[in-house]
Structure 1
Amino acid sequence: MTTTSYKNNNFEDILKGRRSLRNYDPTVKISKEEMTEILADSVTAPSSVNMQPWRFVVVESEESKATLKPLIRFNTLQNDSSSAMILIFGDMNSFDYSEAIYGTAVEKGLMPAEIKEQQLAALTPYYDGMSKTQKQEVALIDGSLAAMQLMLVARAYGYDTNPIGGFEKDKLAEAFDLDPERYIPVMIVSIGKAVDAGYESVRLPISEITTWK
């Protein structure tokens, strides 16, 4: 999707200037059109065999924020002040979209038809044989990749974010009319116009976390 909404194209600033910000200007609302652009850029993230298991619920209305509030423990400031709380779920049935995804790739000339058939012939029995735990692992990994990309994309649009893991994971899907057996909560990301610059945080040195062989 081509967009003209970028406010910041400085990659170093987007990457190194990111902070987990909890307090936003409650008067700033991100339009549905701009949020759609942000999400469209976010889902260019990679996923296992391109099955794109991420699913989003954009919680922006007062009514929906009231539904979310008792489920997010000590993260109510983000809920109260953000433009939106983006609930990220992993779809356990993401492979149901395999024909549509690969078929569209063929139609656009991005994949030869014979490669599509080879891929689906190999992947269909593999996915059919995956356990629930294996599907959850894939959904959590891929959903986290989309979440990280969302946080960086938001900065390009002039907004800030906070990744949230402290919420009632066993209640979130059902509270927003999703099948809890199919949709696995990955993360919540608050997004809005921050009212302060936040604080820098320390990272462990590479020498402490990397082994060279």
Structure 2
Amino acid sequence: MSLTQTAQNPAFSTVVRERHSVRSYDPTFKISKEEMTDLLAEAILAPSSSNVQPWRFLVIDSQSLKEKLLPIANNQQQIVEASAVIAVLGDLEGYKLVEKIYNRAHEAGFMPEDIKNTFIANTTKMYSSLPHEVASRIIYTDGGLVSMQLMLAAKARGYDTVPMGGYNREKFVEAFNIGERYVPIMLIAVGKAAKEGHSSVRLTVDEVASWNEFTLDK
């Protein structure tokens, strides 16, 4: 029986408190393609700007390809020990799929046809004319949202993860033949922990939040 099948659907408060970055994985534990697909299906329920959903994923679960990735990712051992490494990418031309997205929304009864047509025209016009810096900022934001949802969904299923920004993006793009329209956001290792992640502390809410008037810098 898989780890997912034995999970007890932990409460969200438990998931967010028990999720830690794990850097040591059981190399014998494998997540099936079916389970990984289910995990990604939960992740992509995350919100995105104009519902463009500009995230794309490269799931690397081939051991030989993980070995190829290892030096690119600064020889971090979780690359080769984890069940898979998920490269989260942002699609600078993701707006080209808005017609498909909004048509499906209309067919599902979520959007009247006139609103659908207006959204398609306006979204396509706006996103196609954005400066590169603005478009990049949007996909980094959306990429962060889907990445966090992926890691929480993994923890809820009994898996562990670690997000990684420490890799050579240029070499990654070259080694894995990533097109110019795609921007690497982060790598996420996912698998079964061999050692628990370290607990950590957080600043209190009072130290990071203010109400109605921003007073934290005073």
Relative to the length of structure 2, the TM-score reads 0.91
Q: 1:9-158 counterparts in 2 under 5 A?
A: 9-74=10-75, 76-158=76-158
Cα separation, 2, equivalents of 1:6 and 1:27: 18
Residues 1:193 and 2:195 are matched in the alignment: no
Identity of aligned residues (%): 43
What is the distance in 2 between the residues matched to 1:37 and 1:154?
A: 10
Q: For structure 1, which runs of at least 5 residues remain unmatched after alignment?
A: none
Structure 2 residue identity aligned to 1:33: E
Deviation at 1:128, TM superposition (A): 2.0
Cα distance in structure 1, aligned partners of 2:96 and 2:90: 13
Structure 2 gaps of 5+ residues are 214-218
Matches of residues 156-195 of structure 1 in structure 2 within 5 Å? 156-179=156-179, 181-195=180-194
TM-score, L = length of structure 1: 0.93
State the AA in 1 paired with 2:169.
Answer: K
The answer (yes or no) to whether the contact 1:53–1:142 under 8 Å persists in 2 is yes
Q: Deviations over 1:27-70 (max 9, x none)?
A: 10000000000000000000001111111011111121122111
Deviation at 1:173, TM superposition (A): 2.2
Runs of 4 or more, structure 1, over 6 Å off, are none
Letter in 2 for 1:168: N
Corresponding residue number in structure 1 for 2:216: none
For the Cα contact (< 8 Å) 1:51–1:98, is it kept in 2? yes
| 8 Å CA contact 1:20, 1:198 repeated in 2 | yes
Cα 1:177–1:160, aligned 2, differ >3 Å: closer, same or farther? same
Select between 95-104 and 198-207 the one with higher mean Cα deviation.
198-207
Q: How big is the alpha-carbon RMSD for the aligned residues of Structure 1 and Structure 2?
A: 1.4
